[in-house]
Amino acid sequence: MKRVIVTGASRGIGKAIALQLAARGYLVGINYVRNESAAEAVLDAVRQQGGDGYLIPFDIANRQQTADSLNRDLVDRGDVWGVVCNAGIAHDSPFPILEDRMWDSVISTNLGGFYNVLKPLVMPMATARKGGRIVAISSLSGISGNRGQVNYAASKAGIIGAAKSLALELARRKITVNVVAPGIIETDMVADLPRDEVLKIIPMRRYGTPDEAAAPVVFLMSDDAGYITGQVISVNGGVI
């Protein structure tokens, strides 16, 4: 059974990714930070649909904690086939009043987390010589920018550049690295947005669902996606 670790898998897009991967026969490592009950509910749902998984708590912004947890996981469970770097945060504010802590926390969590999670895993994946898959979750903001999200857009654009570069480094090892960039997806992160105004800029005139954002991630994990690497797939209802 191929093993995939999904960060931020206790809710939203990460939860949908974990459930879809488990339904396709992957052993899913369900990462979370604080909400253990929500993560346990995801694990229960995975098992109820006939899949298998386990909980792996760590804070992607904490480099040492992340490395310790992932290194223990490698010792306990062996090779990892895939990683989905999904966890992230947002602290939105117009740039003139953006606080230092808001910049630092978003960059260190979203972009720093990409490094913190993949650094302990990439070398073992490469030396195993079994191939593998890495998918990072970026955002429409990382492609097009967005008012009030200079910090968030910077972190998500950085993920795209990092993933494209890593894809070049790992291609000969048959490890693909791709990015999925969701637009407005029906999750807690968009609950406070002015829906009527937001819908006007989405050609499909609706929010996406977590399952719709998860679907390309699951495809990119599959054997059928073995010749796709260094790409960014947008899931945004037609926003250009």
Domain boundaries, the chain: 3-235
Identify which has the larger pLDDT, 186 or 134: 134
Q: Does residue 106 have a pLDDT over 90? A: yes
Spatial distance between the Cα atoms of 136 and 206, rounded to a whole number of angstroms: 24
Average pLDDT over residues 192-218: 89
72 closest CA partner among 29, 32, 37, 9 = 29
* Fold designation for 3-235: Rossmann fold (3.40.50)
pLDDT at 194: 80
Residue 47 has pLDDT above 90, yes or no: yes
152 is known as an active-site residue: yes
CA atoms of 236 and 187, how far apart (whole Å):
14
Q: What is the percentage of the chain residues whose pLDDT exceeds 90?
A: 90
pLDDT confidence of residue 195? 84
Q: What is the mean pLDDT of residues 69-76?
A: 98
Q: Which residue in 26, 32, 152, 207 is the catalytic one?
A: 152
pLDDT value of position 223? 96
Residue 24: exposure state from Cβ atoms within 10 A (0-12, 13-18, ≥19): middle
Comparing C-alpha atoms, which of 169, 153, 157 is closest to residue 118?
169
pLDDT of residue 81: 97
Dig out the tokens for 52 from the structure: 């298998």
Mean pLDDT score, 58-87: 98
| % of the chain beyond a pLDDT of 70 | 100
Lowest-pLDDT range, 4-8, 100-104, 188-192, 225-229?
A: 188-192
The pLDDT of residue 53: 98
Amino acid identity of 125?
A: M
- Average pLDDT over the chain, rounded to whole? 96
Please write the tens of the pLDDT for every residue from 162-199: 999 999 999 999 999 999 999 989 987 777 778 888 78
Residue 202 has pLDDT above 90, yes or no: no
Give the pLDDT of residue 140: 95
Predicted structure pTM score: 0.96
